[in-house]
Structure 1
Amino acid sequence: MRRRTFGRTAGTGVLVAVALTALVTGCGIRTTSVPVDAGAAPSRVPCSVSGQSPSATAAQGVPVRVFLVCGSQLEAVDRRTPLPEEKAGGNPVATATGLLAQLLAEPSDDERQAGFTTAVRGPLVVGGAHKGDPAGTLRLSRQPEDLTPVALSQIVCTFSASSAGAGEHTVLLGGPGPYAPKRYQCTTELKERPESTPPTTAPPATAGTTAVPDAPGTAPAG
């Protein structure tokens, strides 16, 4: 009798083990000897460039910051521009010209390896305001709306973060035609989704001009 009881007990243990194995397998859990990381897969794009020492770059120009595309977002990159230092902060057009040249340039080898690209393509130049434009207006050789959204986002965020901007992360931009400039704003959302259209607000009224009534449905100039 004892032998039969032992046999039935052993058989029951085997059945329980088989049932547990089937239950675990049915839940989609597989045994493995390798630890499983349940977190998100790490990005292979670092979006970070190791900077050179100040002594190595001191003679290469004025430090500037431009926004390039990396991982479908805009990321700031520190560069050097040959713009003379005495013109870097006092001439918005000269500052914008130097920044635009940086955006038009192909990323360096280190930047490419870090995943950076640029959507800004030439021919494209920047100049000063037309007669009647608000102070601080910059005029591109192409209408801003004719640029790709990513390229325009790069320009807006780069210009607005410099002395060429109009303050509060904005820049007054227009094109070569008679159209009025717009105040473009660089927002966190725009940096995260540069393929979207940069938000705009009405530019400030020009001193000495008569205010024109807003068209129905438009926001008043602020």
Structure 2
Amino acid sequence: MLAGLGLLLAGCGIRPTEVPTDAGPAPSRLPCVLDEDSVSQPPGTTPAKVYLVCGAQLVVVNRYLAEPTGPGPVPVARQLLDQLLPQPSGAERLAHFTSAVPSGTALSGPRPGDPAHTLRLTVDPAGLTGPGLAQLVCTLGESAAATAQGTVLLGGPGESPVRAYECDRELRANPARTPVPTVPVPRG
């Protein structure tokens, strides 16, 4: 009987390995799907993409922004940040969407000496969780708040340095494990 059990277990086809393997995050059974066809665009608004966290990845949802109240990236960036701060709508929560951007986060434009398009947060970007920073970078990176190269220039309060962040496919797929990609900060 023991010999039969040993043969059964040995024949399962899975061989042990001493090499650590990483097959990525486990598959999710969360829906991460919204019925956005039933939402019509309010008059006087512009469609915008906002990234929320769902199933350990970033997923785009559509939102509508008022026309910017001034020139430059700050008015658009503030509206997008306002879309990330509250917890998602009831329908979004039912589809398992969340936001990792801390409440109370605000932003302003560049300080003297900062490159153009710099956005200064009231929190140090390096202190944000991976998903929270990824949400900001990916959302702002697909808007008028990004540089011509598609990067997002973020700094924090005080003497926090300005860093240029990029949103790529790997970051959207795994924002918690992947450091948010940075590139050299453009001068000028």
Q: TM-score, normalised by structure 1?
A: 0.68
AA aligned opposite 1:99: L
Aligned to 1:46: 31
Distance 1:104 1:76 in 2: 15
Q: SS in structure 2 opposite 1:101?
A: helix
AA aligned opposite 1:185: E
Aligned to 1:6: none
Query: Could you say if the C-alpha distance between residues 50 and 77 of structure 1 is closer, same or farther in structure 2, counting changes exceeding 3 Å?
Result: same
Q: How does 1:10-21 map to 2 (within 5 A)?
A: none
Distance 1:88 1:62 in 2: 13
Aligned to 2:95: 114
Aligned to 1:166: 147
Aligned to 2:80: 99
Distance 1:205 1:92 in 2: 17
CA contact (8 A) 1:143 1:177 kept: no
Q: How does 1:51-130 map to 2 (within 5 A)?
A: 51-53=36-38, 56-59=40-43, 61-81=45-65, 83=66, 85=67, 87=68, 90-130=71-111
Residue ranges of structure 2 left out of the alignment (5+ in a row): 13-26
CA contact (8 A) 1:67 1:75 kept: yes
Identity rate, percent = 42
CA contact (8 A) 2:42 2:64 kept: no
Would you say how many aligned residue pairs link Structure 1 and Structure 2? 167
CA contact (8 A) 1:60 1:80 kept: no
* Aligned match for 2:159, one of 178, 182, 191: 178
Q: Give the CA deviation at 1:167.
A: 3.4
CA contact (8 A) 1:156 1:186 kept: yes
Distance 1:102 1:67 in 2: 9
Kindly provide the CA deviation profile for residues 51-110 of structure 1, in whole angstroms up to 9, marking residues without a partner as x.
1446x43238432111000110001110123x3x2x279431010000001000111111
Q: Give the CA deviation at 1:168.
A: 3.6
Structure 1 segments, 4+ long, off by >2 Å, are 56-62, 88-91
Distance 1:80 1:59 in 2: 10
CA contact (8 A) 2:86 2:103 kept: no
User: Alignment RMSD, CA only?
Assistant: 2.5
Q: SS in structure 1 opposite 2:59?
A: strand
Q: Give the CA deviation at 1:112.
A: 1.1
Distance 1:113 1:169 in 2: 32
Could you say which structure has the greater relative contact order, defined with CA pairs below 8 angstroms and 6 or more residues apart? 2
Residue ranges of structure 1 left out of the alignment (5+ in a row): 1-21, 29-41, 207-222
Match status 1:202 vs 2:184: yes
Q: TM-score, normalised by structure 2?
A: 0.79
Distance 1:192 1:144 in 2: 20
Q: Over alpha carbons, which structure has the higher Rg? A: 1
Q: Quick check: which one's helix share is greater?
A: 1
Distance 2:70 2:95 in 1: 30
Query: Could you say if the C-alpha distance between residues 96 and 155 of structure 1 is closer, same or farther in structure 2, counting changes exceeding 3 Å?
Result: same
AA aligned opposite 1:202: P
Aligned to 2:113: 132
